[in-house]
Structure 1
Amino acid sequence: MHATATFTDIYVAVSQFYGRQVQLLDSNRFEEYAQTFTADGEFQHTPGVPPARTHTGIIEELRRFNTRFDDDPVQRRHMFSMLNLSRREDGAFDATFYALVLTTRPGGKQPVVGPSCLVHDVLVIEDGEVRNRSRRVTHDHMFNL
């Protein structure tokens, strides 16, 4: 990404980044997914579980989380939408968007929808590439009245 990139250029690059990132996650390519974060990146996706830090920590957390599917063959699809992107004073970007997870099991059954989440990312441009510095996922069903 060039230093003269417009906000529109950055928005398009971020949208492309998310398309690639989510496909890595849904394909269980955790090592490649972790590489979409900065070296000191932070990833918090499960309520009550401390954030994973660094590429190694993110990979370990995703492997741990996905053991729940060891005896339950599923295809999960993360659907990201309604991206709101804004520049921070430090040059990074705040990205907030909705995420729905669709879980499909073999046998032609209908997908299960959920959870519904709000995702808060801090993105940076490193060596011309978009990277996650941090991700915090909040689950809609965990809200307090």
Structure 2
Amino acid sequence: MPTSTSFAELYTEVQQFYARQMRQLDERKLEAYAETFTEDAEFGHTPGREPARTRAGIAADLHEFHKRFENDPVQRRHWFNMIDLEPQDDGSIRSTCYALVITTRPGGKPDIAPSCVVRDVIVRGEDGGLLLRSRTVEHDQLF
């Protein structure tokens, strides 16, 4: 376990990583979002669908997923909170957090759905920055 100072720095770094990553997703900058994963990453986000694999596969999967919103003037916001980090002996970090997806349409009230648990494996890239090796999103309504 890192010292409390280094753990606090790691926690802050992960929060900042998530903030940038979720903003990219919400702004539909899907290639930039995919770049936050390792080249061989796996991303399972929708119940009943096979996880996307590789950066290119993740971007393609998200483009396909977002087609449902092409004619729907919707703004989606992903909110990550209650982040629990577990540094591993191999240098990776296991992260478990809660996620809410807030959907708003013009003139409408925000709708919160789904509520999820997100399980990540975070690693350091060659430049020292954070990347996701894997992400699994578990939807609460399927418990």
- The TM-score bracket by the shorter chain reads over 0.9
SS at match of 1:110: coil
The one-letter code matched in structure 1 to 2:78 is H
Q: Give CA deviations for 1:64-105 in whole Å, capped at 9, x if unaligned.
A: 111111121100000110000011122100000000001011
Equivalent in the alignment of 1:125: 124
Q: Does 1:138 align with 2:138?
A: yes
- The DSSP-based 3-state class of the residue aligned with 2:59 is helix
Q: What is the SS of the residue equivalent to 1:13?
A: helix
Q: Which 5+ residue runs of structure 2 have no aligned equivalent?
A: none
Aligned equivalents of 2:54, 2:93: Cα separation in 1: 19
Superposition CA RMSD, Å: 1.0
Map of 1:17 onto structure 2: 17
Question: In percent, how many aligned pairs have the same letter?
Answer: 52
Residues 1-145 of structure 1 correspond to what in structure 2 (within 5 A)? 6-106=6-106, 108-126=107-125, 127-143=127-143
Q: In structure 1, what residue type is equivalent to 2:101?
A: V
The SS at the match of 1:25 is helix
What is the number of equivalent residue pairs in this alignment? 138
Which one-letter code corresponds to 1:91 in the other structure? G
